[in-house]
Structure 1
Amino acid sequence: MKKLSIIIIIGIIFLFFISLSEDKLSLENNTSSEYITVFKKGINGIKAGMDKTFSEEDIEGFKRGFSNFIYKVKNIITDEELKRIKQKTADLFREINNSVWNNFIDSDYEKALVKRIIDGDTIVVILNGVEEKIRLIGVNTPESVGKYKSNPQPYGKEASNFTKRSLLGRIVYFEKDVGDKDKYGRLLRYVWLTDPSKGNLNEDMFNIILIKEGYGSVMTIQPNVKYQKTFVNLERQARENKKGLWQLK
């Protein structure tokens, strides 16, 4: 019962801060809006259950009290503070969403929500409620961030944008190889668009998609060599067909 109460409170607070500034601010991307829509549906379901439990008089009293609360808060929270609160709430909801997926989707593989794209071969995810950087194994895309931000390597922006279009806001699956992290502390993973035990290697592993579409080249670093031969063969095909960056060679 305590857990249910906490969930209801979080839901109400979340919707309050969204509705408070609908006419002033919007969340930064479409992914957040999708989460809000789903969450609102859940809250509406809770409301329907409350309607059956509480009398109309109880509900009206709650509405009046809540309206007074909104009025008071509107006069003490600045737009900048509200923006920060909304962002933190959106991040919290992503973590809750990720936890739900991890608990209710039956898979032997790690699953995470893609939160941000750094460049073509590096992403940021929420994994088990923790933000982690993921470096895709076996593929290297042209650089487009850091010292290359103002002058990206050829096809760097295209690779980064492709990864963003493909992965941002998605639930992805991770397959490990022998080595777990690189020297920068990033997790080394094969990134799958579906459960690896059910997916197609050439169609559902994103590392391979980057190589065969010409957004990156093969980069083999021991001991992570499980798919090395497949990667090399697909790179050769992409090069022969002048796919992506290979049309510039």
Structure 2
Amino acid sequence: MVRSALVPVVGVVTAAAVVLGAVVAFTGSDDDRQRATVVRVVDGDTLVVDYDDAQHRVRLLNVDTPETVAPGQPVQCLGPEATAFLETRLPVGAPVVLRFDEDRLDRYDRELAGVFDADDVLVNAEIARAGLGVAVVHEPNRRFYAQVRDAQEQAEAHQVGRFSPTLACTPAG
């Protein structure tokens, strides 16, 4: 009798664990969050942060901005503006939270992350919302793509940044 009474309880506990696991997988866990401090901005989609007593170069996931520091490439249209935007949004000393996806490093050994400011706002999307970056997927990292794409669509609708009909230069890509 004890055994038959435990079967429904085990089933409920198993179902609850599956649901809880799905919620943790969807919202992210503390394991994928890293508190850090901004050391400097490199360009519109790259910054250097400090955590664990070391500096880490971070590439913002799912957004691409015009180049300003790529070796052998000229400064691209809106590149300086994207860099200035990120510098204003994340000044030296600002606290940030990094959230990671499937691949944690890119081919240049930069950490790939969603970067959240002190107000828990995804800065990656804010760059796209300003029309200074575009949504991009570097498989398998898609975690922030939908948010960045939605922000880009808002920039297009409001004709800001790269989507402005009066922009004097031609953005790459």
TM-score by length of 1: 0.51
Richer in helix (by share): 1
Deviation at 1:232, TM superposition (A): 1.9
Deviation at 1:141, TM superposition (A): 0.5
SS in 2 for 1:123: strand
Equivalent position of 2:4 in the other structure:
none
Equivalent position of 1:124 in the other structure:
48
Number of aligned positions between the proteins = 135
**Radius of gyration: which is bigger?**
1
Equivalent residues in 2 for 1:1-249 (5 A)? 108=30, 109-147=33-71, 151-169=74-92, 170-194=94-118, 199=120, 204-247=121-164, 248=167
Deviation at 1:165, TM superposition (A): 1.4
Equivalent position of 2:22 in the other structure:
none
Alpha-carbon distance in structure 1 between the residues aligned to 2:150 and 2:50: 32
Alpha-carbon distance in structure 2 between the residues aligned to 1:165 and 1:129: 24
Higher RCO (CA < 8 A, seq sep 6+): 2
Identity %: 30
TM-score by length of 2: 0.72
Alpha-carbon distance in structure 2 between the residues aligned to 1:154 and 1:241: 19
The one-letter code sitting in structure 1 at the alignment partner of 2:81 is E
1:164-193 superposed Cα distances (whole Å, 9 cap, x missing partner): 111122010011111110011000000001
1:26-79 superposed Cα distances (whole Å, 9 cap, x missing partner): xxxxxxxxxxxxxxxxxxxxxxxxxxxxxxxxxxxxxxxxxxxxxxxxxxxxxx
Richer in strand (by share): 2
Gaps of 5+ in 2: 1-28
The one-letter code sitting in structure 1 at the alignment partner of 2:109 is G
Alpha-carbon distance in structure 2 between the residues aligned to 1:229 and 1:116: 27
| CA RMSD across the alignment | 1.9
Gaps of 5+ in 1: 1-106
Mean alpha-carbon deviation: is it higher for 168-177 or for 227-236?
227-236
The one-letter code sitting in structure 1 at the alignment partner of 2:134 is S
